[in-house]
């Protein structure tokens, strides 16, 4: 596990000066860096050269020409160190790799806590700020089940479903990540300050905003793209037809993430959004198993720990549902065709057990036959 440090190297200062400028978003900053190679080159560029970059107008050029008048980087660094907030640029090892897949990935993240490699295996749970007892209970069941399976639970630290999901993951002994709409200097909502500390101890808080940024309405849709971006899939457990959770579901689809919804009573206003998602083609889920089985192959294997705390490579989230014998048989099957006789030889299990286990792995779509007696791992 690597710890995220709060130390900031000098090369990061020009990037901070740019990233914190009012009116410069991730896409514009990315366009500037593609044209000028480095933040220092952007700051040194002429006005005419800057105006040739898509998305850059005279007002932004004026801000770039006098960045120190817009934000005091020394104060920003000092405040982050005081609050134990790490400043993490895209090039840093601690930057979540899944976010790099986004076209509008934040150039700099502010983090408190630790982001570990196992957090790449994450599922977001989002929903209404006003859950019914049904939504509250089902969110607890799903978040706790994911946490016990070794999946990190991602949400937005908001009232309602978000807070319930974080707390249930923590209570189950799992990890959780909270993405904030504002800065970490004043946790919003204030009553979740204690929960934020607990998340920090068993995961991390993430924001693309400096510590002093107060949350505004427009920040939350921006925040939602990071919730879905950090996750393999997004699960909406309860949401009305105008819920912000539906924005997260849409963003998940646009980002190529899986999207799930928990069905609710047809006469419940708080289930209209989730039922609508299902009607529009989002995957209906009733249990944690439904989520894990639907996620499919991972773009890159993730290392997890088995029951004996030994490391193993996970190729699909559904592998978390396997017992010890099923894992043993699966590990004996390679990407190239493997015969049943080879599997029996490697595992030293009786033939009838290997055959029955192979059937389970086939049903879970973890292996497929390439011939009568040969299998490959998917």
Of the chain, the percentage scoring pLDDT greater than 70 comes to 96
Q: What is the pLDDT of residues 48-70, one digit of tens each?
A: 999 999 889 999 998 898 877 67
Q: What is the pLDDT, as a whole number, of residue 311? A: 77
Q: How far apart are the first and last CA of the chain?
A: 28
pLDDT in tens, 230-269: 999 999 999 999 899 999 999 999 999 999 999 999 999 9
- Residues 203-222 pLDDT 10s: 999 999 999 998 887 788 89
Taking the C-alpha atoms of residue 340 and residue 317, their distance in angstroms, rounded to an integer, is 24
Spatial distance between the Cα atoms of 59 and 166, rounded to a whole number of angstroms? 41
The predicted structure's pLDDT at residue 304: 78
9 confidence band (pLDDT: 50, 70, 90): very low
Determine the angle formed by the axes of helices 26-36 and 12-19, rounding to 10 degrees.
140
Which residues make beta-bridge pairs with 235?
Answer: 125, 260
Q: Is the pLDDT of residue 84 over 50?
A: yes
Instruction: Using the structure block, give the residue that is written with the tokens 């609710």.
Output: 264
| Measured distance CA(334)–CA(61) in Å, rounded | 55
């Amino acid at each position: 596990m690597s710890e995220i440090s709060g130390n900031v190297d000098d090369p990061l200062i020009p990037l901070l000066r740019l990233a914190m400028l009012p009116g410069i978003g991730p896409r514009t900053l990315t366009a500037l860096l593609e044209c000028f190679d480095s933040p220092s080159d952007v700051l040194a560029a002429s006005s005419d050269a800057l105006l040739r970059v898509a998305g850059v107008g005279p007002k932004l050029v004026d801000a770039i020409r006098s960045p120190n008048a817009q934000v005091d980087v020394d104060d920003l660094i000092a405040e982050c160190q005081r609050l134990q907030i790490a400043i993490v640029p895209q090039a840093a090892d601690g930057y979540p790799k899944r976010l790099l897949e986004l076209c509008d990935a934040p150039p700099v993240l502010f983090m408190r806590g630790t982001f570990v490699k196992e957090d790449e295996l994450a599922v977001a749970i989002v929903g209404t700020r006003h859950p019914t007892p049904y939504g509250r209970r089902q969110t607890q069941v799903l978040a706790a089940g994911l946490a016990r399976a070794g999946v990190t639970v991602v949400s937005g630290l908001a009232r309602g479903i978000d807070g319930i999901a974080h707390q249930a993951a923590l209570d189950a002994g799992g990890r959780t990540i909270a993405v904030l709409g504002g800065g970490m200097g004043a946790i919003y909502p204030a009553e979740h300050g204690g929960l934020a500390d607990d998340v920090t101890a068993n995961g991390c808080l993430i924001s693309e905003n400096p510590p002093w940024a107060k949350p505004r309405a427009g920040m939350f849709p921006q925040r939602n793209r990071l919730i879905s971006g950090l996750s393999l899939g997004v699960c909406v457990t309860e949401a009305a037809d105008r819920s912000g959770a539906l924005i997260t579901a849409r963003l998940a689809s646009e980002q190529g993430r899986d999207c799930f919804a928990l069905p609710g009573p047809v006469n419940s206003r708080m289930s209209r959004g989730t039922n609508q998602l299902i009607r529009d083609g989002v995957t209906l889920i009733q249990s944690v198993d439904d989520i894990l089985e639907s996620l499919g192959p991972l773009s890159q294997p993730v290392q997890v720990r088995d029951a004996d705390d030994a490391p193993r490579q996970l190729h699909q989230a559904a592998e978390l549902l396997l017992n010890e014998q099923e894992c043993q048989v699966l590990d004996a099957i390679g990407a190239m065709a493997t015969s049943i006789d080879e599997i029996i030889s490697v595992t030293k299990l009786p033939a009838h057990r290997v055959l029955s286990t192979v059937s389970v792995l086939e049903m879970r779509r973890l292996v497929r036959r390439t011939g009568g007696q040969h299998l490959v791992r998917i």
